[in-house]
Amino acid sequence: MGEAQQQLQHCDISSDFAHITDFVFVIFGGAGDLSLRKLLPTLFSMHLRGNLPENFEIIGFGRQDLTDETYRNLVEESIEASDEVGTPEASQVENFLSHISFSYGHFEQKEDYNQLEKLVRKKSGEYEMDVLYYLSIPSALYEQVISQIADSELPTSGEGSRIIIEKPFGKNLATALELNRTVNRAFREDQVFRMDHYLGKETVQNITFFRFANSFFEPLWNNNFIDSVQITVAEDIGVSRRGRFYEKTGVIRDIFQNHMLQILSLIAMEPPAGFNAKQVRDEKVKVLRSLRSTAYQNVADVSVAGQYSGGQLHGEQVKSYREETNVDPESSMPTFFAAKLHVDNWRWAGVPFYVRTGKRLPRRVTEVVIRFNQPPLKLFRDDCTPLDASRLVLTIQPEEQISFRLGVKYPESSNLIVPVNMDFKYSDYFDRTYVSAYERLLRDCLAGDQSLFVRQDGVEAAWEFADPFVSRWEECNCVKFYPPGSWGPQEAEDFIKKDGRTWTTE
Ligand code: BG6
């Protein structure tokens, strides 16, 4: 056990060890791809780790012609195919399967929800257990299913009833408001778990801990000491089989509006008064509301959108976005987005936040770079080369690490300063294998802890901010093309260079 682990202290964030009470977990779309590939193997892995109570029931609801038995066979196959669970013993799988059943039904059929209700009632011992609804269905069906739940006898008002929705939460502000209205017909906000898997990542959670558990950062964490902030979410993969989804989504909706703005709000937020879900989410929403809004006609002044063309990446020939399956050969959907944002509040006035994200970039990396100001006086050099400013880099993936880039004297030189890194790698200190972000979030909704979920006002504020970017870049038919393996179109480089800065990735 690492030293850091031995020194674990008790603190008021208890969700890691939260108690999960008996539950019935209803999966709408229970036999769909997402459920079988991800959700059910994750639930199984939680069961294996002893993170589920003895009494739990999982009910898959869907229009496939399945019985309990044939559904269980599918779940068994998906567990075998999953690399998340290793090689469990047959008895462990059998035990898990004994908690699973299937309810045949169509999402639009009222009677099918009545059938489901009977089963839930039976499995929960007349509602003695928490009842959770998980929407593992295309987002276009969210409202239909939630309305049906609202109109049925399914339990929705008790404290133990919860609904879990994965992003996207709407496709713009108007549809997000509509969706929230529908959700509120059946559920109160404290029962709604909007899942953005980035918030379940250990290093994303650590942004808050790092900032507020170390007293020497906060005094520097403002416009007196910080020159600029960069956030990069880069992927080397293309859209692969998700062309149809991506044609309706694009990178701004897919990554920027949610994952990136969530990271930004954790970096920029004020210290909360405490660490409960309300206190943290209040502060995050304040940041989103402080973002300087951009009018449609000014979008191109503060951002760049691009789309990958075809070419070589990691030694292989890859298709252009327009050649991907189910993509319009003339599509102008952005797969790359870079922008300069401002958080207009006392702390951050004048500090630019540069963000960039895209597919088919050189490698997978998610990183936040905090660049500090140059020292006020250049004592050590008499040439014109600017000093490499100190920076702090929070790497969220693929390696989970935090590094400082500092300037030190080159040995035996009289005035040569060279940059060095001070690194902290999670893997050097902690020997436990982390649960996936997804599992962490599932565990929290089963335990009823909303801290790592997005609140209604947060979703709306993020859409309000992102909407002009989405519409302008989708409508203008003017994305810039970039070769796979590059850091986006040349315009993205020029855009930051104009400010006398460059993009940084470690
Ligand atoms: C999802 C997006 O939310 O996040 C995908 O829909 C993207 O397009 C994925 O590939 C990236 O997640 P991660 O955890 O691999 O960074």
- Tens of pLDDT along 482-499? 999 999 999 999 999 999
Average pLDDT across the chain, whole number: 92
305 with 243, same domain: the answer is: yes
Q: What is d(CA 381, CA 293) in angstroms, rounded to the nearest whole number?
A: 41
Domain that holds residue 44: 21-166
Share of the chain above pLDDT 90, in %: 81
Tell which one of 235, 236, 435, 436 to mutate to probe ligand 1, the residue whose CB is within 8 A of the most ligand atoms: 235
Instruction: Count how many residues are written for the chain.
Output: 506
Q: Please tell me the residue having the least CA distance from ligand 1 atom 14.
A: 198
131 with 260, same domain: the answer is: no
Domain end, chosen from 144, 166, 188, is at: 166
- Our answer on whether the CB atom of 254 is closer than 6 Å to any ligand 1 atom is yes
462: pLDDT strictly greater than 70? yes
CA geometry: angle 127, 132, 133, nearest 5 deg: 120
Q: What is d(CA 185, CA 179) in angstroms, rounded to the nearest whole number?
A: 10
212 with 75, same domain: the answer is: no
Distance 422 CA to ligand 1 centre (A): 29
Structural domain count of the chain: 2
Cis peptide before 398 (omega within 30 of 0): yes
235 with 347, same domain: the answer is: yes
Q: What is d(CA 121, CA 103) in angstroms, rounded to the nearest whole number?
A: 13
149 with 208, same domain: the answer is: no
Domain end, chosen from 113, 142, 166, is at: 166
Distance 180 CA to ligand 1 centre (A): 23
CATH number of the domain encompassing residue 299:
3.30.360.10
For 6, phi then psi, to 5°, come to: -65, -25
Question: Would residue 268 count as lying in a domain?
Answer: yes
431 with 483, same domain: the answer is: yes
Identify whether the C-beta of residue 337 lies closer than 8 Å to the C-beta of residue 354: no
Question: Quick one: which of 258, 209, 211 has its CA closest to 231?
Answer: 258
Helices marked H in 336-455: 426-429, 437-447
29: pLDDT strictly greater than 70? yes
Question: Would residue 458 count as lying in a domain?
Answer: yes
Q: Please tell me the residue having the least CA distance from ligand 1 atom 8.
A: 254
The pLDDT score that the predictor gives to residue 383 is 61
Tell which one of 197, 204, 205 to mutate to probe ligand 1, the residue whose CB is within 8 A of the most ligand atoms: 197
Question: Would residue 14 count as lying in a domain?
Answer: no
Q: Which tokens hold the place of 268? A: 């920029």
121 with 238, same domain: the answer is: no
435 with 319, same domain: the answer is: yes
- For 288-313, the pLDDT digits (tens) are 999 999 999 999 999 999 999 999 99
- Our answer on whether the CB atom of 166 is closer than 6 Å to any ligand 1 atom is no
344 three-class SS: coil
110 with 38, same domain: the answer is: yes
Look at 7-11, 40-44, 101-105 and tell me which has the smallest mean pLDDT: 7-11
Torsion sign, CA atoms 388, 393, 395, 400:
positive
- For 188-217, the pLDDT digits (tens) are 999 999 999 999 998 899 999 999 999 989
Distance 167 CA to ligand 1 centre (A): 11
378: pLDDT strictly greater than 80? no
Question: Would residue 420 count as lying in a domain?
Answer: no
* CA–centroid distance for 322 within its chain: 26
Q: Which amino acid is at 341?
A: L
Question: Would residue 382 count as lying in a domain?
Answer: no
Confidence band for 12, pLDDT divided at 50, 70 and 90: very low
Tell which one of 255, 308, 400, 434 to mutate to probe ligand 1, the residue whose CB is within 8 A of the most ligand atoms: 255
Share of the chain above pLDDT 70, in %: 94
Measured CA to CA in angstroms, residue 131 lies from 15, 151, 155 at distances of 19, 16, 7
Domain end, chosen from 119, 150, 166, is at: 166
221 with 162, same domain: the answer is: no
Mean pLDDT on 65-87: 92
Question: Would residue 83 count as lying in a domain?
Answer: yes
What do you get for the CA distance between the two ends of the chain, in Å? 29
Identify whether the C-beta of residue 447 lies closer than 8 Å to the C-beta of residue 18: yes
Beta bridge partners of 162: 132
Q: What is d(CA 286, CA 296) in angstroms, rounded to the nearest whole number?
A: 23
The angle, 0 to 180 degrees and rounded to 10, between the axes of the packed helices 261-268 and 277-290 is: 100
342 is catalytic: no
436 with 352, same domain: the answer is: yes
**In the β-sheet with 100-104, what is the strand arrangement from edge to edge?**
100-104, 56-62, 23-28, 130-135, 161-166, 192-195
Identify whether the C-beta of residue 371 lies closer than 8 Å to the C-beta of residue 223: no
Find the catalytic residue in 10, 259, 314, 342.
Answer: 259
The pLDDT score that the predictor gives to residue 8 is 45
Question: Would residue 187 count as lying in a domain?
Answer: no
259 with 125, same domain: the answer is: no
- For 147-163, the pLDDT digits (tens) are 999 999 999 988 889 99
Distance 207 CA to ligand 1 centre (A): 19
- Our answer on whether the CB atom of 235 is closer than 6 Å to any ligand 1 atom is yes
Q: Please tell me the residue having the least CA distance from ligand 1 atom 9.
A: 255
Distance 221 CA to ligand 1 centre (A): 29
Distance 254 CA to ligand 1 centre (A): 8
The angle, 0 to 180 degrees and rounded to 10, between the axes of the packed helices 173-186 and 456-475 is: 150
CATH number of the domain encompassing residue 72:
3.40.50.720
CA geometry: angle 391, 289, 295, nearest 5 deg: 95
Q: Please tell me the residue having the least CA distance from ligand 1 atom 5.
A: 254
Look at 81-90, 160-169, 257-266, 267-276 and tell me which has the smallest mean pLDDT: 81-90
SS (H, E, C) 428-490: HHCCCCCCCHHHHHHHHHHHCCCCCCECHHHHHHHHHHHHHHHHHHHHCCCCEEECCCCCCCH
The angle, 0 to 180 degrees and rounded to 10, between the axes of the packed helices 456-475 and 277-290 is: 30
Q: What is d(CA 285, CA 269) in angstroms, rounded to the nearest whole number?
A: 9
Question: Would residue 149 count as lying in a domain?
Answer: yes
Buried b (16+ CB within 10 A) or exposed e, 344-368: ebebbeebbbbbbbbbbbeeebbbb
